[in-house]
Amino acid sequence: MYFNSLDFAIFLPIVFILYWFIFRNNLKLQNALIVVASYIFYGWWDWRFLSLIIFSTIVDYLVGQRLRTEEQQSKRKVLLWTSVIVNIGFLGFFKYHNFFLESFVDAFSLFGMQINANSLNIIIPVGISFYTFQTLSYTIDVYKKKLDPTEDFIAFSAFVCFFPQLVAGPIERATNLLPQFYNKRTFEYHKAVDGMRQILWGLFKKIVIADNCAVFANHIFDNSADMNGSTLILGAIFFTFQIYGDFSGYSDIAIGTSRLFGFDLKQNFATPYFSRDIAEFWRRWHISLSTWFRDYLYIPLGGSRGGIWKKVRNTFVIFLVSGFWHGANWTFIVWGALHAIYFLPLLLTNNNRKNLAIVAEGRLLPSIKEFFGMLTTFTLTVFAWIFFRAEDVSHAVSYIGGIFSITIFSEPEFMERGDAFILLYLVLGFFIIEWLGRDGKHTLELNSIRWTPIRRMSLYFLIINMILILGFWGEEGFIYFQF
């Protein structure tokens, strides 16, 4: 079920009414309702894959129960690896089976050896990378004794399958979300209103910005061989805003929807395109994933401690794995490697934590240094997104070759060019609002400058009208559903 669909517009009020008006005095029934609603939400896409979520839930719940009483370290490790193998095994089979098989065949063909191996027609379950990592965080934290295992199976099931963030995050830690299912929730008007603001902005980012940018990005990337250099640059820029509007829009809707039910999820995006270096970008982009890899992979490997070789190794491991997490294609691995290359100079010069505060904090405009830092980081990010969007590495290389040709100085030439430039003005307006709201937990908090009630209501009215007039309702899925 898509957030930007009529189905969800009917589904959400029904669940909300049942949750607050029918089951409000019974915590267990509220949690059970969340489980049922979440299974309906996920099963709306394909009910058969509910079995994977249910099986993972049962395995990790039972592993947690055994870890509660098991003190022998060797047996605790067996229990941990049982959870890891089951969860990563499902993920590996459904998402990476064909990739490894085809890479294996291609590797042998380089030496003149032909191997006949047929790939399987595998459907990748929506959101498998997200809920797999979420339930793994529970087992790992219980193993490390950072979290007491739960005895409440319904609460644990609700944590694993919580429908607002089930298929595209944020990837919640058990230490943050699971305890919220233990405590009685009370309806808080101000929290619900703020959640609605965040949902509104998320919808705007998705169906106005991302989906309109997708029209031109898809056309240009799909026909890149026929486009000149300046047009290819436009295509990369449109995809840059498409993927940000699409993914951060989903996160905003997920977090806002969670607040309607009395839950607080972690912030997943913090205006990443205003970052002054690539390290800051990764502190602000897909925060739940980057911190997951930091805590469960990078730090156990040694992090930034040790010699230069270990720092380089750990940096490349974390970024290559992050790239591979996104999909079974060498383009994602190259994308991750590029970001590792961007990041290394900052790490090796101990400048990777230089820009921790909000850019231009307390000021309306950035300094010259901040502006050029943002411009450089944005340019590097756009370049890397070409690999992320391309069909394969050769497509990305030819696309980049087309940019760096003499035609880069030509005017963009493609159909509906006028509409594309109108969209760029819309994106600029979007960028300005994001800038004004850059210091909030979400953009429409608008903490940077004083907003009177009339100005706020005028802005909300404008956003709603743009959604109704310019939005693509139910036509475009979310990019990160495939991951």
Taking only the tens place, the pLDDT of each residue in 369-387 is: 999 999 999 999 999 999 9
With contact defined as beta carbons under 8 Å apart, do 129 and 136 qualify? Answer: no
User: Does 195 share its domain with 167?
Assistant: no
Q: Whole-angstrom Cα distance, residue 103 to residue 329?
A: 10
Of 326, 339, 395, 442, which one is the catalytic site residue?
326
User: Does 150 share its domain with 230?
Assistant: no
Show the tokens assigned to 386: 């070409």
With contact defined as beta carbons under 8 Å apart, do 213 and 388 qualify? Answer: no
- Of 456, 283, 449, nearest to 353 (Cα)? 283
Q: Determine the average pLDDT of the residues in 341-368.
A: 91
Range of the domain at 104: 6-186
326 catalytically annotated: yes
Report CA torsion sign: 284, 287, 293, 296: positive
User: Does 427 share its domain with 392?
Assistant: yes
pLDDT at residue 326, rounded to an integer: 87
Distances in Å between the alpha carbon of 56 and those of 114, 155, 243, 328?
38, 15, 29, 22
**Cα-based angle 304, 305, 308 (whole degrees, multiple of 5):** 75
pLDDT digits (tens, 9 = 90+) for 13-53: 999 999 999 998 899 999 999 999 999 999 888 788 898 89
Widest CA span in the chain:
72
Tell whether 178 is covered by a domain.
yes
Q: Whole-angstrom Cα distance, residue 438 to residue 420?
A: 26
**pLDDT exceeds 70 at position 164:** yes
What's CA 36's distance to the chain center, in Å?
24
Tell whether 229 is covered by a domain.
yes
Query: Domain total for the chain?
Result: 2
Domain end position, chosen among 186, 215, 237: 186
Tell whether 14 is covered by a domain.
yes
User: Does 122 share its domain with 182?
Assistant: yes
User: Does 107 share its domain with 221?
Assistant: no
Confidence of residue 412 (pLDDT cuts 50, 70, 90): confident
Lowest mean pLDDT among 121-135, 141-155, 432-446: 121-135
- Of 313, 339, 449, 331, nearest to 396 (Cα)? 331
User: Does 160 share its domain with 34?
Assistant: yes
Single-letter residue type at 411: E
User: Does 92 share its domain with 125?
Assistant: yes
HEC string of the chain equals CCCCCHHHHHHHHHHHHHHHHHCCCCHHHHHHHHHHHHHHHHHHHHHHHHHHHHHHHHHHHHHHHHHHHCCCHHHHHHHHHHHHHHHHHHHHHHHHHHHHHHHHHHHHHCCCCCCCCCCCCCCCCCCHHHHHHHHHHHHHHHHCCCCCCCCCHHHHHHHHHCHHHCCCCCCCCHHHHHHHHCCCCCCCHHHHHHHHHHHHHHHHHHHHHHHHHHHHHHHHHHCHHHCCHHHHHHHHHHHHHHHHHHHHHHHHHHHHHHHHCCCCCCCCCCCHHHCCCHHHHHHHCCHHHHHHHHHHHHCCCCCCCCCHHHHHHHHHHHHHHHHHHHCCCHHHHHHHHHHHHHHHHHHHCCCCCCCCCCCCCCCCCCCHHHHHHHHHHHHHHHHHHHHHHCCCHHHHHHHHHHHCCHHHHCCCCCCCHHHHHHHHHHHHHHHHHHHHCCCCCCHHHCCCCCCCHHHHHHHHHHHHHHHHHHCCCCCCCCHHHHC
What's this model's pTM, rounded to 2 decimal places? 0.91
**Cα-based angle 377, 378, 379 (whole degrees, multiple of 5):** 90
User: Does 23 share its domain with 74?
Assistant: yes
Q: Whole-angstrom Cα distance, residue 346 to residue 344?
A: 5
Q: Whole-angstrom Cα distance, residue 76 to residue 142?
A: 10
Selected residue with higher pLDDT from 168 and 336: 336
**pLDDT exceeds 80 at position 180:** yes
Tell whether 362 is covered by a domain.
yes
With contact defined as beta carbons under 8 Å apart, do 42 and 199 qualify? Answer: no
pLDDT at residue 139, rounded to an integer: 95
Selected residue with higher pLDDT from 266 and 113: 266
Domain end position, chosen among 162, 186, 210: 186
Q: Please list, in sequence order, all residues whose beta carbon lies within 8 angstroms of the beta carbon of residue 212, skipping any fewer than 6 positions away.
A: 423, 426, 470, 472
User: Does 151 share its domain with 196?
Assistant: no
User: Does 119 share its domain with 231?
Assistant: no
Report CA torsion sign: 345, 348, 354, 355: positive
Q: Determine the average pLDDT of the residues in 217-241.
A: 93
Q: Whole-angstrom Cα distance, residue 389 to residue 26?
A: 47
Tell whether 284 is covered by a domain.
no
pLDDT at residue 243, rounded to an integer: 96
User: Does 117 share its domain with 210?
Assistant: no
User: Does 245 share its domain with 385?
Assistant: yes
pLDDT at residue 208, rounded to an integer: 94
pLDDT digits (tens, 9 = 90+) for 268-288: 999 999 999 999 999 999 999
